[in-house]
Chain A
Amino acid sequence: MPEVKPEMTASDRYDIAIIGAGPAGMAAAVIASARGASVILLDDKPRSGGQIYRNVDASPLDKPQVLGPDYLRGAELTAAFAACSARYLPATQVWHLGDNGEILCSRNGATLRLTARQILVATGAMERPFPIPGWQLPGVMSAGSAQVMLKSDGLVHDNPVFAGTGPLLYLIVAQYLRLGVPVAAVVDTTPLANYFSAMRYALGAVREPAMLLKGVGLLNEIRKAGVPVYRGAQGLEVIGNQSASGLRFQSGGQQHEIVAEQVFLHQGVIPNLNFTRALGLEQHWNPGQLCWQPALDQWGQSSVAVISVAGDASGIVGADAAERNGRLSALNMLARLEKISLAERDQQASADLQALASLNAFRPFVDQLYRPLDSHRIPDNPDTVVCRCEEKTLGQLRAGFEMGAREPNQLKSLTRCGMGPCQGRMCGHTVSELLAKWRDEPVENVGYYRLRSPMRLLRLAEMSNFTELSARDALVDTLATEVKP
């Protein structure tokens, strides 16, 4: 692993700053740094790889192969990233991005400030909220969080019930089974009707046969392991008083109850909007993916001149497309910085653009197949908690609506829904969809919370220890000890 080279002393300004060391961010860093731009990549994790390739080169597992070939492929990218000349600040929590190119982050208990000519937001996805009765109880966790525990600490829970829909859910179940961890049941909420409605996109899907087979293979693997799989499940409800004791649902015309102390929920992922919303980028509601996403051109250029977005943060695209997105954004930024010509950009982009066209044709099929049920996104039980931080129920939100709150910020001001530690990052989509339903209008008209910095809880002590732009030495000191993954 190469150390940061001596000539790479830190400067307080960069041509390109990249936020996030997942596939999009790493691929962008590799390209951009190879073509003469000064590049810095900031990532909140101690190692590169993002969520998908988390710890790919330092797995706590004896046999990381159980995590699957897609995961292991990430090692190639992390290696290329490690070899590139981009500056890399791991374990650095970016908490503010400005449309003026300002970047503020927490690092070693202090606040650090940098500026960049161009910023690439590659902050990936987050799991879609799953607001069902009882989802706020201890013992309920997102399946993605369960996977994080597995990838970073090798921690698993025995006999959980997995519920929801989407390829990631099946993958995590398969990873559990390959490790020999017993699974109580898989409650598949993929609506059976989706199998038919998705068929109209099947033509696009056959262009990517490998991806098409992936999901089918995982489900077969789960069934062969003897785990009960309930199909077309709906009406999910976590049972329990102080903590989860099981899951209740309907499937095949019958009511079922599974006893489990751990309930892992997942119904797909949505773009991480923290930065793109706080930056005020123009956004649209994607009715196919049922999520907000920034308005971007094919290069990931946003409505704000200095900001580009790549990977799942731009709309759910998957790891392969994210990597290509990252390269395209990098090429475009290089052209804007006059490091390459427009002709060079177009020429070097053509292979990725072509591959993306094929991947994009596959996407609608997946989106339609794993489209979560309305009733699992838009709660209708007045007691269902929508905002877990402030413990606001659907009934309380409805009362706010009756009092005149018509858009998310008014609802927040009236009810405190979205005012807690997560600042509405969890309940934002639910609230947009709820208000759209109540107003009987498209979600696009309803809008979203005004997100603000900091992007996460920021310790006052950390903030007060502010390293000014001009204080270059502090950054040099921290960088001198930095090594690539």
Chain B
Amino acid sequence: MKRSSKADVVIIGGGIQGCATAWQLAQRGVSVAVLEKDTVSRHASGVNAGGVRLLGRHLAEVPLSIAAMKRWHTLDNDLSGDTGFRARSLINIAADEQDLDTLNKRQQLMHSQGYFHEQLIDVKELRERLPHVADHCVGGVLSLQDGYAIPYQATLSFKRAAQLAGATFYEGQEVKAIRKLGNDWLVSTHNSEFEAPKILNCAGAWADLISVMIGDNVPMSYSAPMLGITARMPHFATPVVGAVSRPLSFKQFENGTVLLGGGAKGFADRANNRTRLDYSLMAAGARNAIEFFPIMKTASINRMWSGLEAYMPDNLPVLGPSARSENAWHAFAFSAHGFQLAPIVGEIMADLITTGGCQFDLEPFRVNRYERKVL
């Protein structure tokens, strides 16, 4: 006999988006069951680079990202938690004239849309803010509100706040089937059934499988972006650092360790919950880091890893209602930049689920945006 439970909303996926939405819904008095196939924050939400970044966002995402950033600055208080958020600013470095050109064009575009949060900085300011930057760098772009948080802590903070507000979490519950029972959804796992009028798909790298169960086909792919962390180093960089045209990204934490990212991808073994790293690409990332920051020559890598992350072909998430089924919604495929958006995604999904609408234009994030029009 399967154990059976009822809720107003079943959320599939205990990552940061599922937890953030659970928190929002629970605060509004909605009963929520979150189903997680492993443990909460086990995958991308717990092992990502923790970038809280507004800088360089796709135009479609900028309004969401601005709203999310505002919330990050009060989030620990709102959650009564510790997300580890630090507003340290973010600088993308220009290595040559071509990079400066790219930045100028971006600046014009942003200003034309009425966005002024990205500031161009000259070489002098670059060196003031990053004294250890290599001599050949010529300038950059700065976003003062940006920073980082500690992903595992942040996701668990959302989870705990959601629990306190009344949401229930079920770990080790991999969804095997979803079907309709009258007007309700019936979600089955190996040993349990969950019945709810409404469901939300936040299943990350497994979201395409859940989508299909709901009736939506998406050209989602998944991959394994790689990260590495060094042993403690003397403090040398306060801002989070990226590069305009090179796969470089790092941040130095308060304990002196330096997290190296840059988006290089390893090999994803989704069926087995495993990833394999591509060390030759990590080596290229290491060369970049040294080239931009010669002090990194003295760094020692302590651990390298990657998590399973979902991508859409346009690197924009799927956010919004199912195209095929009533009372079903999606929030997935954040394409390696969803961490910062979580506070606003939670609000958006809760708005959609409880009121049917939200204040943002979600057209670019439609689940069926790749569907071929029938002539």
Contact A457 B231, beta carbon cutoff 8 Å: yes
Minimum CB–CB distance for B48 against chain A, Å: 13
A414 is an interface residue with CB less than 8 A from chain B = yes
Chain A residues whose C-beta falls within 8 Å of the C-beta of B277 in the assembled complex:
453
Q: B6-14, B239-247, B296-304, B314-322: which one contacts chain A?
A: B296-304
| Nearest A residue to B279, CB-CB | A104
Name the residue of chain A whose CB is nearest to the CB of B277.
A453
B303 touches A111 (CB 8 A): no
CA distance A409 to B188 in the complex (A): 28
Chain A residues 435 to 478 lying within 8 A of chain B, measured CB to CB, are 452-454, 457-461, 463-466, 468
Instruction: Mark interface residues in A90-109 (1 if CB within 8 Å of B CB, else 0).
Output: 00000010111000100000
**A468–B39 alpha-carbon span in the complex (Å):** 38
Binary contact readout A109-122 vs B (1 if CB under 8 angstroms, 0 otherwise): 00101000000000
The digit string for A204-244, where 1 denotes a CB below 8 A from any CB of B, is: 00000000000000000000000000000000000000000
Q: How large is the interface on A (under 10, 10 to 19, 20 to 34, 35 or more residues)?
A: 20 to 34
Given contacts A410-B39, A459-B299, A460-B297, contact A98 B276 (CB under 8 A): yes
Q: Is the CB of B46 within 8 A of A413?
A: yes
Instruction: Tell me whether B287 and A458 are in contact (CB under 8 A).
Output: no
Within 8 A of A (CB), among B38-90: 39, 41, 46
With contacts A421-B231, A421-B302, A452-B304 taken as known, whether A463 is within 8 angstroms of B152 at the C-beta atoms is no
Return B78 CB to nearest CB of chain A, in Å. Answer: 19
The interface residues of chain A lying within 8 Å CB-to-CB of B297 are 460-461
Cβ-defined partner of B274 (8 Å) among A280, A457, A458, A461? A280
A423 at the B interface (CB under 8 A): yes
A96 to B290: give the CA distance in the assembly, Å: 22
Please give, as numbers and ranges, the residues of chain B lying within 8 Å of A98 by CB-CB distance. Answer: 276
- A275 CB to nearest chain B CB (Å): 15
Pair A464/B280 contact, Cβ less than 8 Å: no
Q: How far is the CA of A457 from the CA of B301 in the complex (A)?
A: 6
Q: State which of A100, A460, A465 has its C-beta within 8 Å of the C-beta of B301.
A: A460
Number of B residues near A (Cβ < 8 Å) is 30
Q: Which residue of B lies closest to A410 (CB)?
A: B39
Q: Residue B286 contacts which of A104, A404, A410, A464 (CB distance < 8 angstroms)?
A: A464
> What's the Cα separation between A463 and B277 when bound, in Å?
14
Residues of A within 8 A of B301 (CB): 454, 457-460, 463
Q: Which residues of B contact A (CB under 8 A)?
A: 39, 41, 46, 152-153, 156, 230-231, 274, 276-277, 279-280, 282-284, 286-287, 289-290, 296-305
Q: List 10 A-B contacts (CB under 8 A).
A: A100-B276, A111-B283, A420-B231, A421-B300, A452-B305, A459-B298, A460-B299, A463-B282, A463-B301, A464-B290
The 6 closest A-B pairs by CB, nearest first: A466-B283, A464-B286, A457-B300, A413-B152, A464-B287, A460-B299
A residues near B, CB below 8 A? 96, 98-100, 104, 111, 113, 280, 404, 410, 413-414, 420-421, 423, 452-454, 457-461, 463-466, 468
Given A460-B289, A464-B290, output 18 extra A-B contacts at Cβ < 8 Å: A96-B279, A113-B279, A280-B274, A414-B153, A414-B156, A421-B231, A452-B303, A454-B302, A458-B300, A459-B298, A460-B230, A460-B300, A461-B286, A461-B297, A461-B298, A464-B287, A465-B283, A466-B283
